[in-house]
Amino acid sequence: MIQSRNGENFIIVWLDSNMKESKEKTQHGINQFGQVINSIRTFTDSDQCMNFIRDIKDEKIFLIISDGLSQSFVQLVEKTIQLISIYIYSNHKLKQKQWIINHRKIKGIFIQIEHICNVIKKEARQYETDLIPIKILLELEHDDKEKSELVEFCREQYADNENELKIIDEFNQNYSKPSPIWWYTRECFAYSMLNKALRTQDVENNY
């Protein structure tokens, strides 16, 4: 079961107007999804579902919708900031619909709950991994010792790169200006070093 390490939990929102008519299949889906994400909410009414999604402030959403509701509902919900991905669930195999191509959050059409679970598991883990560099930089803001160690380590790694050494000095002097996250999005040494460490599963090497 996956819960975000940074305290920002995930939630699965499942919208299907036929749930009441297929209680056994619905319960099977809830049981399967519950093994991946701790929090699950089901809806048969699209308006109620939309209102619930709009009220979510902290959790990140994986949305599952039945193919009969998909196109109109996707257009309403896709710009929701908290929404990570959309999965279209169908009782029978469908050809990839042309309109889906224009919606980047849609991960595809699925006929098996287990397949959706596998994709959600990967998405959740990737999302957490993507947040680790930012979390590290935010923690450095409150720990001068670790920041100093990171600076010295980076100076050693970029000893022959004058341009990066200048950026490292700038980083050391003005770390909180404009913000720690800005340094990561700048794609300079901080971006390269943190991502290299993550690729080798050795975050501690940054300090």
User: Please, what are the domains in the chain?
Assistant: 10-130 (3.40.50.2300), 141-206 (no CATH)
Residue reference for tokens 């341009």? 163
If one compares 15 and 95, the residue with the highest pLDDT of the two is 15
- pLDDT of 97 above 90: no
Q: How far is CA 25 from CA 30, 31, 140, 147, in A?
A: 9, 10, 48, 52
If you ran DSSP here, which 8-state letter would residue 95 be given?
Answer: P
Query: What's the mean pLDDT when you consider all of the chain?
Result: 76
What pLDDT, on the 0 to 100 scale, is given for residue 193? Answer: 59
How much of the chain, in percent, has pLDDT values that exceed 70?
69
pLDDT of the residue at 15:
94
**Residue 34: per-residue pLDDT:** 86
Percentage with pLDDT > 90 across the chain: 21
- Mean pLDDT over 182-201 rounds to 54
Least confident of 6-10, 32-36, 161-165: 6-10
Res 204 pLDDT > 60: no
Under the banding of pLDDT at 50, 70 and 90, the label for residue 140 is: low
Mean pLDDT of 116-139: 74
Q: Is the pLDDT of residue 132 over 90?
A: no
CA angle 77, 78, 81 (to 5 degrees): 95
Q: Which helix (H) or strand (E) holds 86?
A: strand 83-89
75 vs 61, higher pLDDT: 61
Q: How far is CA 58 from CA 11, 157, 178, in A?
A: 10, 38, 25
pLDDT of residue 187: 55
